[in-house]
Structures are given as C-alpha cells and as structure tokens.
Structure 1
Amino acid sequence: MSEPTTGRDRLRELLDAVLADGDGSGGTGLAAMADRAHSSPFHFSRRLSRDTGESPVALRRRVLLERAAWQIRQGSSVTDAAFEAGYRSVEGFIRAFGRAFGHPPGATTSGSPGWLPAPNGIHFHPPIHLWIESRPEERPAMDPLSLQVHHDIADTGRLIEAAAGLPEEAYRRVHSPGQTVLSWDGPEESVAAVLENLVRSKEMWCASIDGEDVPARGGDDPASLAGRHREIGPHWIATVDGIGRRGAWGDRLVDALCDPPESFVLGSVVAHVLTYAAHRRQLVRHMLRAAGVEADHGDPIEWLQDRHGGTS
C-alpha cells in the first residue's frame, strides 16, 4: 500500500491540475481540472479555495496572466500570449490584462510588474512553472536561502539571454588570460566559458546527489546553454527544496564522480554552488559591459522588487 499523500504534496497535485493544459487547446474548465485531480468539482473547488484563498478558475486566470506578461517581456507577440493564456480573442485578453496590471499588454516593459496581488503567494516564475512562497504574509522575512537559489537561476537565465546578442567573436573573446575560478574547472577567460561553468556546475552536482553518471557535456553556444539551463534550473531548485524538506543539510554525500570518491556535507554543497555562481555571474557582467552590453547589478533586492511590482 502506498504512503498517504502529505497535505503539501496534495496541494501541489491540485495546483498542477489547475494549471495543466494551458495552451488554449481545451480542458481548462472546473470539471476538467477536477477530473485531472481525481476529484469532484465541488470538493476540488472547496479544497483549493480553502487552501489558497482563491477559486481554481481565478487562480488559473491570474497565474496565466502573469505568464503572459513574462512572455511579452521576452518578446512574444500579444496575440501569441493571448492564445497561450487560453483567451479566445485578443480583445478579451487585452481587457483582462489591462484590468489586472493597470496598463495594456503592449505597454509592458522590462520594468513592468511581473506578479499580480495574490492571497497565497502562488505565482508564475520562470523557468519553473510556479513559485509557491511558503509564507507570503511575511514576505519581508522570506527565507534567504530560497531567495538566493531562485535568484541565481533567474539571473543566470537573464545573462544567457544577454550573451545571445553578442557576435560570436565577442562571445568567445578572452578578457582575462589565465583567469580561473576553481582549478578543476579550468580557465574561464570568456563569456562562453563562464556561462558554461555556471550551468555545468549544477548539472554535475545534481548528478552526484541523484547518484547518476557524469552527465554528457552539451553545447556552449547561447542557444544550447539556454536549453540546458531550462532543464537543470528546475532540477536544482527541486533538489535544494528536497534537502530542506528532509532536514538533510547535515547529511553526507559520497560523490562517486570524483576520482577518488569524496564525501561532502549537503549544506556545504549548496553553499559552494551559490558562492561560486554569484561570483561567476558578476564576472559575466564585467565581460558584457566590456563588450558594450548594458548589464544591471544582479542585485536580489532589485530582482525581488521587480517580481513584486516595485516592493520587496
């Protein structure tokens, strides 16, 4: 007999049922959501409303509007964003978007608010589907580890996007001959090398924690790195979250990928990844500026303010 589902896991299952099939192809009504959650519409709606403070339909509409705002900031057309959010007409989407954000979708800029007010801390957050804040009512006291982990993933994605605009020569140009962050990773003299190690380090540590073989090394061009980052980012977030849920920070990992195998405390592994990821992200910023590309500070305060519409 399987173990009973915990309240937290069951809530996540219900949220997955709410947000599944968000491409406008149908199956998004209350009955379809309840069916995916193996529940009756009445019990499904009552449980979600009780646990989140929002009806399933309202929660879905809000999160998909948040995703649409992000897609538009990334360059998507208003039409594409409208249909991916499940709207049957662009006009209906524009009206709903304007009521929610206070401006039409066409006026969305990089500085526009990304999240809408929510009673539950459940928001769309790239590259993963949802960010569920554990205690949204105490946002100023939010867990700094969670903030650092999510900020690292989001910031790395933004830097890869920025690097994609560089000519190939500038992307691979040597800025600091012999520059090495960690001796076993080799020289990191270019934007390409630093970004590759930002992604590669998480691929390697996730494989070690999961007990898997050394992962194949993918391409280091911006498009390939963006794809690798979309894969490993959610995996790394889930890994850190799992360690925290189990209270396993002091557990030891025997890393068979090292030669010879070494033992590491899991908490120190996460601290290691965050420390050198932050350093590498700033190295990339210096190189981008040297190549004439504007780069922000990479400040988690500014990032969080952007996510919350100007308040942290």
Structure 2
Amino acid sequence: MSSPHPTAQQEAALKTGVWKAFDVVCDTAILLILEACWLGSRRFVDFERSTGLQKALISDRLKYLVQEGLLAKRPVGNGKHQEYILEERGLALFPTALLMLAWEQKWNASEGPEVKVFHTGCDHELIPELHCKACGDTVAAKDLAFEGGNAFMLGQKGFVKRRRQAGLNRTNTKIFHEVAEIIGDRWMALILRMALIGISRYDDFLLSTGIATNILADRLARAVDTGLMQRSRYQDNPPRYEYQLSEKARDLLSVVLTLIQWGQDWYEANPGEHAVITHSCGKTLHPVVVCQHCGDPACRDTSRLLMGPY
C-alpha cells in the first residue's frame, strides 16, 4: 500500500512557482471570475450576472483570489458594498488571457459574442504572439529544451485539496468556453503540460505525474474525445498506447509557457527549483506576449476590448 504522505520529491514540487501557478489558476470558476474582471466586473452582483456561477462558489473563489493577492477587496459608496480590483499579480495574467482568447477564437469561433482587442499603441487589432525576450523570435515547441526536475513533476499525494467545483452550471460565459474547461481542470492541464515537454505514453504520464490511474485514464480518454490528442497503439501484446498532441492542443503551448513564467515571477521557490526552459537561441526562455503588428509587449493598460456586433 502506498504511503498517504507526500514523498520528498512531491514536497519539493509543491514549493515551486510552476506548481503554484497551476494550483491557483487551473480552476474553471477562477478563470471565469478573472474573465469577468478583465471585462469590467467589480461587484459581487456583477460577477454573478457575468459568470452565471452560483453565489457560494463565487464567494469562495473571490476570497481565494484576495488571499492569493490577485484581487483586492475595498469598500465603495457608503461602505455597505464591496468591490474587487485586480492587483498587480492579477494584472500580470492579462497576456495569458489574451492567448486564451486567441485560442478560443481559433478553435471555437462560433461560440459566444465576437470579441476584438485593439492595441492603443499602434491602433491595430491586437493579435498576440509569443516571443523569446532574448532574441525576439517567435516561440515554437520544437525550439525548446526543458529542465527543472521537481518544477515539472507533481505527484497526486500532497496536493492541496482540490477546491470544490459544485456550482459550475454556469449560463453566461462570455469569452472563455472550452479553454476554461481545459485549463480549468488541473489534472488535464498537468497532463497537457507533461505532453508539451515530450511525454506521450501512459506509463510515463503515470510515473511523471503520480495521478491516480482512474483519473489519468479518464483525462486521456477525454483528451482524445475532444480532439486534444490522438491515440495510437505502439505494442500489441500486451496492448500499449501512446498519445500525441493535436494541433489544437499544441496551440495551448503559449498559454502553458506564460503560466509557468507567471508562477516563477510571482511565487518564491527554493534555490534550484525553478523550471529552466532554453530557447534555440541558447538563452533561458523568458516568454513575452507581443502585438503581432508592432511588436510591443501586450498589457492591460494599452489594450481596448470591444464586444460585437460592430
């Protein structure tokens, strides 16, 4: 029988910025509340109207976001009401949000309202691209080498207990549809993260993540059903399968890379526990989301979001 206590490696993994980023953000309700913030919601009633989530779930996640420093709570008017404002740590996720929106528009264009983001610096539509800060080139999976041991590994034992997801029968999602379901499922996000760094076989997923076998089988099957992976047999007796990422899943690389960087920027890690991703230029990758037209970094202050019809 396996020990209920985390191993030393699992303990170390939990202390990395990489894991902290995925623990905080990879939750569907969290993503929908952050979406509402980026669309201008500040009061509880606004979050309720914008997300369609149940009150208890909204309350729980708002408290968590304040606790983690992504939102600040402050009184308004005569002090009887409260509003929630994005803190610097929350604003730093805006480039990730742009990439999630771009992914949603490419793969689920018929869902939800038409949304355009304009870059006020060049007065063009902001189409986000991920570049290497050191050399300025666009980032592709084939150009990356991953190191980092515990920063990329995470076993099931020692997880912070998964936040309760009851109340997710939302009715009014505006811009994040499928991407919130994918990135918002931390098991799926973890599997995709490992696949993006080269893991493809069931046994290797099991070894590198420590996910329970029933959960791993369920998420891999779901990844195949939703077009994120293709399954192929590489051994007949006994049958063994490998799972290759589709273009749809590979397009999530930029989202994963910016989440990793955000975690390392905003959460402390023990010395030597940072993930090291090397770009083909030879430098450690520091991913930067830029405007495709002018090349300037994309940030909330220089972006204007419009929702159709135009």
Q: Which has the larger radius of gyration?
A: 1
TM-score by length of 2: 0.30
TM-score by length of 1: 0.30
Structure holding more strand per residue:
2
Question: Taking CA–CA contacts closer than 8 Å with sequence separation of 6 or more, which of the two structures ends up with the larger relative contact order?
Answer: 2
